[in-house]
Amino acid sequence: MQRVIQKAKDFNELVMFEHSIFSLPFIFIAMIVAADGWFGLWLLVLGVLAALSARNFAMGVNRYADRDIDAKNPRTSSRPNVDGRLDRGSILIFIIVNALIFIAVAYMINSLAFALSIPILIVLAAYSYFKRFSSLAHVVLGVALGLAPIAGVVAVNAAIPLWSVLLSLGVIFWVAGFDLLYSLQDIDFDKENDLYSIPSRYGAEATLFISALFHALAVLFWLLFVWAADLGMFAYAAALGSGFVLYYEQMLVRKDFTKIDRAFFTVNGYLGIAFLILIIIDRTLS
């Protein structure tokens, strides 16, 4: 039993389970807006399973593909995929199991979700390889997480309305923007190993500018989402408030690069939760 518990801890460390907080709020936002309120316990359970299995699949592929890179980077050299705690076979089984769970859950949701399940998995897996040949890897990561709101509305309505696309575009630029900030930690390593991150190719100042631009676009698309979905003042407050949060994040990193972890995890985690709460209030009072 002790060995099983330890193995579970190793897999948890591998995929950083707690960071699922980034995608889950926006799935639920899309589901709440699509249902104009509570969407039901069954869809809640399926939505959580789909989100967690998709993220576990994506992180598993990333760790599987990046084992050689992670082993060279002092920041990542103690990860379970590198230090021997999890071998390649175990990680591969983990990837396959989570892919099958995601496909099975999509099948239980509806036919459109099932039809989109394989293409979504392909997009999720693609991010892990982009850094080897393209600086667009940050945007691909954004697309991977940006699929979450569309998946949420497909689960409820088996359709993809305009407002869900706008919500997703906001998530894409939000994620790409904070991934740019996070990647500043590896700017020297990426240069030395010929990896195609924007910081390694264009420098820190250009990265900060592009990140700020992406975050401005995220707020713009979220405002357009609120307008297209015909939501109320609390939803507008959520979109505008996210702008202040992202401004704080930008200033935090510009002041001190050692604050990148705080900006990446804490600030972005609060943003998603606050956005969700305000949407719930908006739909409750409408």
What is the per-residue pLDDT across 47-72, written as a single tens digit (0 to 9) for each? Answer: 889 888 888 898 888 888 878 777 77
Number of domains in the chain: 1
| Alpha helix (H) residue ranges in 16-161 | 24-35, 41-65, 67-72, 88-109, 111-130, 137-157
Domain membership flag for residue 60: yes
pLDDT tens digit sequence for 85-126:
777 888 888 899 999 999 999 999 999 889 989 998 998 888
| Alpha helix (H) residue ranges in 131-267 | 137-157, 162-183, 187-192, 198-202, 204-228, 233-255, 260-261
Please state the rounded mean pLDDT for residues 17-46. 84
> What integer pLDDT is reported at residue 45 of this predicted model?
92
Domain membership flag for residue 106: yes
12 pLDDT exceeds 70? no
Domain membership flag for residue 40: yes
Look over the chain and give the mean of its residue pLDDT values, rounded to a whole number.
85
Domain of residue 62: give its range.
20-285
200 pLDDT exceeds 90? no
Domain membership flag for residue 172: yes
Q: Can you give the CATH number for the domain in which 43 is found?
A: 1.10.357.140
Out of 6-10, 158-162, 175-179, least confident range: 6-10
Domain membership flag for residue 6: no
Phi, psi angle pair for 67, to nearest 5°: -55, -40
Kindly report the pTM of this predicted structure: 0.88
Domain membership flag for residue 216: yes
Give the closest residue to 91 by CA, choosing from 102, 75, 100, 80: 80
Structure-model confidence comparison of residues 132 and 198, the more confident one: 198
Domain membership flag for residue 110: yes
pLDDT tens digit sequence for 206-262:
999 999 999 999 999 999 999 999 999 999 999 999 999 999 888 888 877 666 666
> What integer pLDDT is reported at residue 130 of this predicted model?
78
Please state the rounded mean pLDDT for residues 142-149. 87
> What integer pLDDT is reported at residue 215 of this predicted model?
96
Please state the rounded mean pLDDT for residues 148-168. 92
Amino acid letter at 195? Answer: L
Domain membership flag for residue 28: yes
> What integer pLDDT is reported at residue 266 of this predicted model?
73
Could you tell me the two tokens for 77?
């050299």
Please state the rounded mean pLDDT for residues 35-50. 89
Please state the rounded mean pLDDT for residues 156-184. 91
